[in-house]
């Protein structure tokens, strides 16, 4: 199997990378590693979680251990001049800020493990005890103090051999002494290595602006305007000191504490205690005031450091035991049965949103019938959720049974088409399938697209609808009204803001005029025209649903074949109608039946108005009725003869452009007299409207 092309590899989300990982070649893996390096080091906006990145790197090591990218992990090398460390300290911090600085001694990465067996295999090569400390999720930094004890250089780890000068922004950090206490200064130059990070208690004030403490930390230390650096909110975790001759790790931390550093979170452990220390960090992780992504172990005796030495990538005397992903508990709100375009019906857990590994999780696949039945989910239970590899949300089990322990049932008919279902065995389990998948999949897409178009829920074009179906978010039109921004934000090319805009569009259409509602159902022969006829004759949706074939045939213009199709169609769609009525309000009576014929010789005779976006001061149907009462027309689309395009208030303020706005601008460019106006301008023109 060939790799996806480079542009696809550059744009794949974490879930897609996770799925493709077993089949990628070394070349494809190299592309992903370079992409991840740029995102993490150069832009401080990683899209691939650390555990997934580690798996990509480890797989590449197996396929091509000599791949060049494996020895070049870190930020893209600077094209500018490089300063040797001794050269840099001769310049004032303000003159060298941001310059590339070559470390006097490389800052290597750490080897990694993910289970007790690998940890103990590494530990077996080491004599003596071990220092154990949290693996902080921050920015690695080197601090250099001169022989007099003054801080003269602070630089990021960077590529390991060279970093970026950040002295100017490190000096204000309270945890970083500007000078070492004189009585403890060793009289030699020393280098302190550690992690710059932001405590969660400090990050709380910025949480609405930034996604992750590490991103804010990186941006703060590299901020050229000191007033915007937020250095006062940063902390420093020292984990090593180079220079003074100290016998072991405990002596190092004692020295760091004595010269003014804040030392916390480390302990000395015997070999038999190593796994227990890891498990304790896992338990205590949620209560820590900082984010960690693993636990670091290092030989305690410095003589062991010298004996074991280093590779070009990592020291042999230290290792990072990485977490596999976040775990948390949340409420199960329900189980949805998602129908794919191939006919597979997959159970999906609808969750009270929970943040795991820096992402909000609102849904999790339950995979197949075997897994669904094995979990024993009950209504309103509490479940344990994880992100395996920091990527795919998983329901690990029931943490607390729901009241009454009412189980969820497996559907007996397809949620999308109402047809029969089948249980089929595959190599990886038993699945539920629609018995007529080809017809069902095509009909599902058409039904969803038709509903969104008729109700005028903008933004849900064929591509978005298809993605939402594949992601298990849409199975019936009712699901539009159950969408949440946290669910949509995971779709390709949809960020949080775009996802929220789509949800806002749905919410703006929770009141639907009766003829529009009837047309949106997709019943044969029940379009807008016949919908109006039925509305005028029966008045309410309930009366229309109760009407017989003879009742319909009594209406002028409705013949026997049309009556049969409408009665049968409404009966077939009864479950959909009932479900929709739990989410929307159908406007009935005169308010739902504006006269399409404009008033002759009205004030707006000869003028036409089209509305787009969300009106905030009146409903769209009320605005259209006002136009028609003044003699104007309300067409359904943009044309060269359109007089005004009225843009909803919120949409105009956001600056976003709907397809109607773009078409209108194109007509204006061609010389049309069409004008694009705001909702307020429209209301001023018509003298206001009465709701």
Catalytic positions, please? 135
How far lies 687's CA from each of 614, 625, 690, 691, in Å? 20, 13, 10, 13
Q: What are phi and psi of 18, to 5 degrees?
A: -55, -45
Please count the other Cβ atoms lying within 10 Å of the Cβ belonging to residue 251: 15
Count CB atoms within 10 A of the CB of residue 287. 6
Provide the β-strand partners of residue 363: 350
Which of 155, 175, 196 shows the shortest CA–CA distance to 290? 196
Strand 609-612 and strand 644-647: the pairing is parallel
181 token code pair: 């206490």
User: In the chain, what are the helix, strand and coil shares in percent, each to the nearest 5?
Assistant: 40, 25, 35
Structure tokens of 487? Answer: 């669910």
10 Å CB burial of residue 688 (0-12, 13-18, 19+) is: exposed
Distance CA 363, CA 338 (A): 12
Given a contact cutoff of 8 angstroms between Cβ atoms, the answer to whether 687 and 656 are in contact is: no
d(CA 541, CA 589): 10
Q: How far is it, in rounded angstroms, from Cα 348 to Cα 363?
A: 7
- 334's CB contacts (< 8 A; 6+ apart) are 350, 379
Nearest partner of 343 among 279, 271, 421, judged by Cα = 421
Q: Give the integer Cα–Cα distance in Å for 337 and 328.
A: 23
Buried b (16+ CB within 10 A) or exposed e, 120-133: eebbeebeebbbbb
Spatial contact of 66 and 146, defined as CB atoms under 8 Å apart: no
CA nearest neighbour of 448 among 428, 470, 430, 474: 474
Residues contacting 137, CB < 8 A, separation 6+: 197, 213, 214, 290, 291, 292, 293
466, 490 in Cβ contact below 8 A?
Answer: no
How many C-beta atoms surround the C-beta of residue 427 within 10 A? Answer: 4
Q: Which pair of structure tokens corresponds to residue 162?
A: 């060279």
Q: Which of 431, 411, 409 is nearest to 420 (CA)?
A: 411
User: How far apart, in whole angstroms, are the C-alpha atoms of residue 195 and residue 265?
Assistant: 13
Task: Report the candidate in 126, 157, 153 with the shortest Cα–Cα distance to residue 139.
Answer: 157
Q: For the chain, how long is the longest CA-to-CA vector?
A: 105
The answer to whether the CB of 419 falls within 8 A of the CB of 575 is no
Phi-psi region of 655 (alpha: psi -120 to 50; beta: other; left: phi over 0): left
């Amino acid at each position: 199997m060939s790799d996806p092309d480079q542009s696809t590899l550059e744009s794949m989300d974490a879930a897609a990378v996770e799925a493709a990982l077993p089949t990628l070649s070394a070349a494809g893996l190299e592309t992903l590693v370079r992409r991840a390096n740029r995102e993490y080091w150069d832009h401080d906006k990683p899209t691939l979680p650390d555990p997934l990145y580690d798996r990509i790197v480890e797989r590449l090591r197996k396929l091509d251990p000599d791949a060049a990218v494996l020895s070049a992990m870190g930020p893209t090398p600077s094209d500018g001049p490089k300063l040797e460390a001794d050269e840099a300290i001769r310049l004032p911090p303000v003159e060298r800020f941001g310059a590339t600085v070559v470390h006097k001694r490389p800052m290597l990465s750490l080897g990694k493990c993910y289970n007790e067996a690998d940890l103990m295999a590494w530990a077996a090569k080491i004599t003596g005890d071990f220092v154990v400390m949290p693996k902080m999720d921050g920015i690695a930094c080197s601090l250099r103090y001169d022989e007099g004890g003054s801080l003269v250089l602070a630089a990021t780890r960077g590529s390991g051999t060279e970093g970026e000068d950040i002295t100017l922004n490190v000096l204000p950090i309270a945890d970083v002494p500007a000078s070492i206490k004189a009585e403890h200064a060793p009289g030699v130059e020393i280098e302190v290595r550690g992690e710059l990070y932001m405590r969660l208690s400090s990050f709380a004030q910025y949480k609405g602006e930034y996604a992750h403490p590490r991103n804010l930390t990186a941006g703060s230390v590299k901020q050229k305007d000191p007033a915007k650096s937020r250095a006062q909110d940063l902390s420093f975790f020292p984990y090593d000191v180079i220079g003074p001759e100290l016998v072991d790790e405990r002596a190092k931390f004692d020295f760091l504490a004595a010269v003014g550093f804040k030392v916390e979170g480390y302990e000395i452990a015997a070999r038999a205690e190593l796994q227990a220390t890891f498990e304790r960090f896992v338990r205590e992780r949620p209560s820590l005031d900082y984010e960690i992504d693993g636990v670091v172990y290092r030989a305690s005796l410095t003589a062991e450091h010298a004996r074991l030495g280093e590779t070009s990538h990592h020291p042999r005397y230290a290792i990072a035991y990485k977490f596999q992903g976040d775990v948390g508990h949340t409420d199960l709100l329900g189980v949805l049965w998602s129908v794919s375009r191939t006919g597979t019906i997959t159970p999906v857990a609808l969750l009270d949103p929970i943040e795991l590994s820096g992402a909000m999780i609102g849904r999790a696949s339950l995979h197949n019938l075997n897994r669904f039945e094995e979990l024993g989910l009950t209504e309103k239970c509490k479940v344990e959720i994880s992100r395996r590899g920091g990527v795919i949300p998983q329901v690990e089990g029931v943490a607390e049974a729901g009241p009454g322990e009412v189980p969820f049932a497996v559907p007996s008919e397809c949620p999308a088409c109402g047809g029969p279902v089948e249980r089929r065995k595959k190599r990886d389990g038993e699945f539920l399938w629609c018995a007529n998948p080809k017809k069902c999949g095509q009909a599902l897409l058409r039904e969803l697209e038709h509903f969104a178009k008729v109700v005028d829920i903008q933004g849900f074009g064929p591509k978005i609808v298809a993605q939402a179906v594949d992601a298990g978010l849409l199975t019936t039109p009712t699901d539009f009204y159950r969408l949440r921004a946290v669910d949509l934000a995971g779709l390709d090319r949809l960020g949080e803001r775009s996802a929220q805009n789509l949800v806002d569009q749905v919410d703006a259409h929770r009141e639907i005029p009766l003829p529009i509602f009837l047309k949106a159902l997709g019943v044969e022969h029940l379009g807008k025209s016949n919908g109006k006829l039925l509305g005028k004759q029966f008045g309410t949706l309930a009366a229309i649903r109760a009407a017989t074939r003879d009742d319909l045939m009594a209406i002028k213009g409705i013949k026997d074949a049309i009556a049969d199709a409408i009665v049968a169609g409404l009966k077939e769609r009864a479950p959909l109608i009932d479900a929709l009525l739990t989410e929307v309000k159908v406007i009935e009576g005169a308010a739902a039946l504006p006269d399409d014929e404009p008033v002759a010789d009205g004030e707006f005779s000869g003028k036409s108005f089209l509305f787009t976006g969300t009106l905030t001061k009146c409903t769209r149907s009320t605005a259209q009725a006002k136009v028609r009462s003044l003699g104007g027309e309300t067409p359904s689309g943009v044309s060269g003869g359109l007089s005004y395009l009225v843009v909803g208030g919120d949409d105009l303020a956001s600056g976003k452009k709907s397809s109607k706005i773009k078409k209108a601008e194109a007509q204006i460019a061609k010389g049309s007299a069409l004008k694009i106006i705001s909702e307020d301008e429209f209301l001023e023109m018509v003298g206001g409207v009465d709701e």
